[in-house]
Amino acid sequence: MPGHGGSPNLTNLEIGRAVAYMINQSGGHWVEPASAKDLSRYGVLAEYHRKRRFDVTPEPAGRPRRKKTGPAARGLAFVVQKHRASHLHYDFRLEHRGAMLSWAVPKGPSFDPAVKRLAMQVEDHPIEYNKFEGIIPDGEYGGGTVMIWDAGHWTPEPADVDAALKRGELKFRLEGKKLRGSWVLVRTRGRPGDSKPAWLLIKHRDEWTSTEEVTELAPRSIVSNRLLVEIARDEGGNVQKAADGDPSALLREILNNPGIA
């Protein structure tokens, strides 16, 4: 039988070498090989769990919530987290079936219907993640500074969200502090083997349409009013790395007038 646990031909010496190799690869920490962990109990969050060490990162472990029966009184949550990891991006998350569907949007959302923003679908996140703002330690998955850039509620336009995702076109409305109105996520390449393909995040034309860059105009956290550089400073992150995710004009202004920060 192939698969983990079914390798009777390995000697103890070989197993010892493999363990030493994995400890070495992970920077001195013992990490159980992903294949050895049964993550199936985490359901749609199995990949989220596989990528993270919750004794090192302050990110929430979380578990998938039970699917609600009937419409939720509080509505469906959405959150956008600005994340200065190896590259700056905006993690766009929509609550669905007890977890957060997630897309990494390198340039962030735009209110201009003529602008199509690349949105790479990534692993579902736990709903608890919506409250996370802080530092993921360097060397961990997504190491860097995380800001809660926007949050609120979303309303899918189609009744069947799963069918819309499968079709590769999800229309929805956002009611956030920054993001409002009607939007669409469109999958760009529908290759059957691709479970996490590229999408485009596009604003529909409505009363919220604008050509101004919301990422430049409203760069601060909606929960703490901090810039990335301030989150990094307050919480022991890499200040320089965080700062290059903030609008440089604003940073210059703060340097020249320290009182306004």
**Could you tell me which stretch among 91-99, 110-118, 125-133, 212-220 binds Mn ion (CB under 5 A)?**
91-99
User: Can you tell me whether residue 53 is helix, strand or coil?
Assistant: coil
Residue reference for tokens 């679908």: 121
Q: With respect to Mn ion, which residue has the nearer C-beta, 88 or 174?
A: 88
Is position 91 an interface residue for Mn ion (rule: CB under 5 A)? yes
In angstroms, what is the minimal distance from the CB of 106 to Mn ion? 10
Burial 220-238 (b: 16+ CB within 10 A, else e): bbbeeebbbbbbbbeeebe
Six token digits for residue 235: 């919480």
Positions 204 through 223 that interact with Mn ion (CB under 5 A):
none
Written as one string, the DSSP assignment of 168-234 is TEEEEEEEESS-EEEEEEEES---TT-SS-EEEEEEPSSTT--SS-HHHH--S-TTT---HHHHHHH
Q: With respect to Mn ion, which residue has the nearer C-beta, 112 or 235?
A: 235
In angstroms, what is the minimal distance from the CB of 90 to Mn ion? 8
Q: With respect to Mn ion, which residue has the nearer C-beta, 83 or 178?
A: 83
Among 82, 83, 84, 93, binds Mn ion (CB under 5 A): 83
Distance CA 63, CA 88 (A): 27
- Supply the DSSP symbol for 88: E
Is position 180 an interface residue for Mn ion (rule: CB under 5 A)? no
Q: With respect to Mn ion, which residue has the nearer C-beta, 53 or 173?
A: 53
Q: Which residue's beta carbon is nearest to the bound Mn ion?
A: 83
Q: With respect to Mn ion, which residue has the nearer C-beta, 83 or 226?
A: 83
In angstroms, what is the minimal distance from the CB of 91 to Mn ion? 4
Amino acid (one-letter) located at 187 = R
Positions that interact with Mn ion (CB under 5 A): 83, 91
